[in-house]
Amino acid sequence: MQYQQEQDYTRKLDAGLWRRVIGYMKPYHRHLIAIMATMAVSALCDTIFPLLTREAIDTFIGSGQTAGRAWFVARYIGTVLLQSACIFTFCQICGRAECGINRHIRKLAFKRLEELSFSYYDQTPVGFIISRMTSDTSRIGETVAWGLVDLFWSGAYILITAIAMLLLNARMALLVLSVMPVIAVTAVWFQKRILASYREVRKTNSQITGAFNEGIMGAKTSKTLVREEANAKEFSVLTGKMRTSSIRAAVFSALFYPIVISLGSIATALVLQRGGTEVFSASGIVTVGTLAAFVQYSTGIFEPVSNIARIFADLQASQAAAERVVSLLETEPEIFDTPEVIEKFGDSFSPKKENWPDIKGDIEFDHVSFHYSTGEEVLEDFSLKVKAGQTVALVGETGSGKSTIVNLICRFYEPTKGVIRIDGEDYRSRSILWLQAHLGYVLQQPHLFSGTIRENIRFGRLDATDREIEAACRAVDAEDFILKMDKGYDSEVGEGGSRLSTGQKQLISFARALIAKPAIFVLDEATSSVDTQTEQKLQAAISVALTGRTSFIIAHRLSTIRSADLILVIKGGKIIERGTHAELLGQRGYYYTLYANQFREEGEKRAWEEGASA
């Protein structure tokens, strides 16, 4: 089986990408600069200590001098305090920056997700979006905040130490520095291997999660297909692969530090050998104190070198997360208001309602063509005029384009050719929010939010009173079942409305749409999951709800749409018949056949039920 995977991103370190990531952290730039500054000071303290040791040995221990000892102790304590202050400060700033950056990027990403059009969600699996919002963003915060600490400390440490050594004794300094390239190359080599193994581990891990998921979801199907053994084999191959790569990563990591330490010891040995001879030679350029300082420098300088190699590997490993988040932040919504429209009517987050024109509800499709980003033409040269207040019913086979037509009206998608006019104006010249605020939409798969029934209905109009909510529920005949629930209107509906049946969810979302008093009402197979009796009762509510509103009804049961002002029969994105119920029956065409068939089926069903109950 093939499991869907996140796309694999570039492997080379991409400095431009990280610059863009840093750009998104604008409110935290001050923190980042503070981190860099404290790290530089902290590295400076680290290089001062060996110098203090040197002074202690040469001035006080060697000669037994006592003058100036108090001043020396004061400087020593001062350095210790300064360094402690630095560590305290950077830990704090770093922690704060890490959380803050996470939150900030999540906020940006969430805002973008709210702006993105339906087409983005058509193409991006929910799992991917969730991992961008959670693990990817926290990874970025961590890498940037703590990576910057290490990078700055290491860089500053190497630089200042190198200068201090060169000033103390150039020849010995060059000796120590000559080992550095060897360590750098080794570190880079190892980090590359470790990175590659971890990538392998992560990839296999996502496949295993996929396999788990499919295995659990499809447990019953697997049994019926007798696929248990094949599945188990596949699973064992995957886990075996994961084990091999994990072990490889562990071995490389285990080898890395001992090797760096050994190389560092070689440098120390060189220093001791060279410096040791000089200390005891007649020239006496190298003092015991200088030698001691060098030993400290040479053991200390290799950690930052391997640190830097590790940070670059970390950056590379986090790069995929950064790329995913940046690509989300930089995805432009396909449906957006032009700057002029925003100027006049405001955007979704700060609408200028005072400038909004009233809506009547005339709707016109003027030679509209449309295709989804991933498919062929669904509508071609489609024209239709609907007057305000009319009820239009759309019928036709599954896939004929009914939902597409109403999605276009709602501006969830826009025509690829042609114009849709509302009240005679191209709807793109008004804001998206203006239209959607005047729209009531009930879907075949209704979605409720966690919370109570009352809260869910109030999402339709936030200032609705309890009385209005209850009236809306009575209008759609939902009160019966609501009052039977444990807490009536205050019963929790569960995540996504999971404690209700689909039919009940449809009734609630119907009430929610109704309470908003929309000018345009869209019912897309909104009653497909309620039983025939409830549907008949709903019928009355629907006709009350729809009076005075332009409405579009898509329904399979033709009995629901008999009273529509206009019925359109859609086939392959084209209107093949249009008229009222009576006119269409008179035409004896496609609609007639469809209706006759359903009528016969329902008649047979009723006759059968009556026979059974008799």
Ligand X SMILES: Nc1ncnc2c1ncn2[C@@H]1O[C@H](COP(=O)(O)OP(=O)(O)O)[C@@H](O)[C@H]1O
Q: Choose the contact partner of 509 out of Mg ion, ligand X, none; CB within 5 to 8 A by kind.
A: none
Following DSSP, what letter does each residue of 398-463 receive, concatenated? TTSSHHHHHHHHTTSS--SEEEEEETTEEGGGS-HHHHHHTEEEE-SS----SSBHHHHHHTT-TT
Residues 122-151 that bind ligand X (CB under 6 A): 122
Q: Which of residues 403 and 529 has its CB atom nearest to Mg ion in the complex?
A: 403
Amino acid at 363: I
Binding of residue 401 to ligand X (CB under 6 A): yes
* Closest among 569, 525, 583, 514 to 547, alpha carbons compared: 514
Q: Choose the contact partner of 122 out of Mg ion, ligand X, none; CB within 5 to 8 A by kind.
A: ligand X
Quote the least distance from Cβ 91 to ligand X, whole Å.
Answer: 49
**What stretches of 169-287 show up as alpha helix (H) in DSSP?**
170-217, 219-224, 228-280
Quote the least distance from Cβ 556 to Mg ion, whole Å.
Answer: 10
* Closest among 504, 500, 462 to 479, alpha carbons compared: 504
Q: What is the dihedral of CA 563, 565, 571, 574, to 10 degrees?
A: 180
Quote the least distance from Cβ 440 to ligand X, whole Å.
Answer: 18
Cα three-residue angle 64-270-43, rounded to 5 degrees: 70
- Mark residues 318-347: x for contact with ligand X by CB under 6 A, - for none: ------------------------------
Task: Name the CA radius of gyration of the chain, rounded.
Answer: 36
CB contact at 8 A, 581 and 562: yes
Three-class SS state of 503: helix
Quote the least distance from Cβ 29 to ligand X, whole Å.
Answer: 40
- Mark residues 278-297: x for contact with ligand X by CB under 6 A, - for none: --------------------
Three-class SS state of 525: coil
User: Candidates 1-9, 16-24, 276-284, 392-400 — which segment interacts with ligand X by CB under 6 A?
Assistant: 392-400
How big is the site for ligand X, counted in residues (CB under 6 A)?
13
Among left, alpha and beta (phi > 0; psi -120 to 50; other), residue 549 is beta
Q: Choose the contact partner of 62 out of ligand X, Mg ion, none; CB within 5 to 8 A by kind.
A: none
Structure tokens at 130: 């969730």
User: Candidates 208-216, 372-380, 528-536, 578-586 — which segment interacts with ligand X by CB under 6 A?
Assistant: 372-380
Q: Which of residues 403 and 534 has its CB atom nearest to Mg ion in the complex?
A: 403
Q: Which of residues 180 and 378 has its CB atom nearest to ligand X in the complex?
A: 378
Quote the least distance from Cβ 419 to Mg ion, whole Å.
Answer: 23
Binding of residue 400 to Mg ion (CB under 5 A): no
- Mark residues 347-386: x for contact with Mg ion by CB under 5 A, - for none: ----------------------------------------
Q: Choose the contact partner of 404 out of Mg ion, ligand X, none; CB within 5 to 8 A by kind.
A: ligand X
Quote the least distance from Cβ 587 to ligand X, whole Å.
Answer: 21
Following DSSP, what letter does each residue of 275-339 receive, concatenated? HHHHHHSSS--S-HHHHHHHHHHHHHTHHHHHHHHHHHHHHHHHHHHHHHHHHHHHPPPSS---H
Structure tokens at 420: 């849709």
Quote the least distance from Cβ 375 to ligand X, whole Å.
Answer: 4
* Sheet of strand 417-422: strand arrangement: 377-386, 363-371, 417-422, 425-426
Distance CA 246, CA 242 (A): 6
Q: Which of residues 401 and 415 has its CB atom nearest to ligand X in the complex?
A: 401
Binding of residue 306 to Mg ion (CB under 5 A): no
Quote the least distance from Cβ 399 to Mg ion, whole Å.
Answer: 8
Quote the least distance from Cβ 396 to ligand X, whole Å.
Answer: 6
Binding-site member from 158, 165, 271, 378 for ligand X (CB under 6 A): 378
Quote the least distance from Cβ 401 to Mg ion, whole Å.
Answer: 9
Distance CA 599, CA 562 (A): 12
Q: Choose the contact partner of 401 out of ligand X, Mg ion, none; CB within 5 to 8 A by kind.
A: ligand X
Binding-site member from 402, 430, 458, 461 for ligand X (CB under 6 A): 402
Quote the least distance from Cβ 218 to ligand X, whole Å.
Answer: 24
Distance CA 403, CA 399 (A): 8
Binding-site member from 38, 318, 403, 529 for Mg ion (CB under 5 A): 403
Binding of residue 399 to ligand X (CB under 6 A): yes
Binding-site member from 83, 169, 404, 560 for ligand X (CB under 6 A): 404
Summary count for the chain: helices (H), strands (E):
21, 10
* Closest among 461, 526, 454 to 485, alpha carbons compared: 454
* Closest among 403, 13, 429 to 192, alpha carbons compared: 13
In degrees and rounded to multiples of 5, residue 324 shows phi and psi of -65, -45
Cα three-residue angle 399-476-509, rounded to 5 degrees: 55
Structure tokens at 545: 């709800």
Binding of residue 403 to ligand X (CB under 6 A): yes
Quote the least distance from Cβ 529 to ligand X, whole Å.
Answer: 16
Place of tokens 């599945």: 231
How big is the site for Mg ion, counted in residues (CB under 5 A)?
1
User: Candidates 32-40, 395-403, 529-537, 555-563 — which segment interacts with Mg ion by CB under 5 A?
Assistant: 395-403
Q: Choose the contact partner of 78 out of Mg ion, ligand X, none; CB within 5 to 8 A by kind.
A: none
Binding of residue 186 to Mg ion (CB under 5 A): no
Binding of residue 372 to ligand X (CB under 6 A): yes
Quote the least distance from Cβ 182 to ligand X, whole Å.
Answer: 57
Q: Choose the contact partner of 357 out of ligand X, Mg ion, none; CB within 5 to 8 A by kind.
A: none
Binding of residue 307 to ligand X (CB under 6 A): no
Quote the least distance from Cβ 237 to ligand X, whole Å.
Answer: 34
Residue number closest to Mg ion, CB atom: 403
Q: Which of residues 263 and 523 has its CB atom nearest to Mg ion in the complex?
A: 523
Binding of residue 527 to ligand X (CB under 6 A): no
Distance CA 140, CA 18 (A): 10
| Residues in contact with 438: Cβ distance below 8 Å, sequence separation at least 6, in sequence order | 359, 518, 519, 520
CB contact at 8 A, 218 and 12: no
Binding of residue 204 to Mg ion (CB under 5 A): no
**CA-to-CA separations, 14 to 324, 326, 431, in angstroms, rounded:** 13, 13, 38
Per CB under 5 A, residues contacting Mg ion are 403
Per CB under 6 A, residues contacting ligand X are 122, 372, 374-375, 378, 396, 398-404
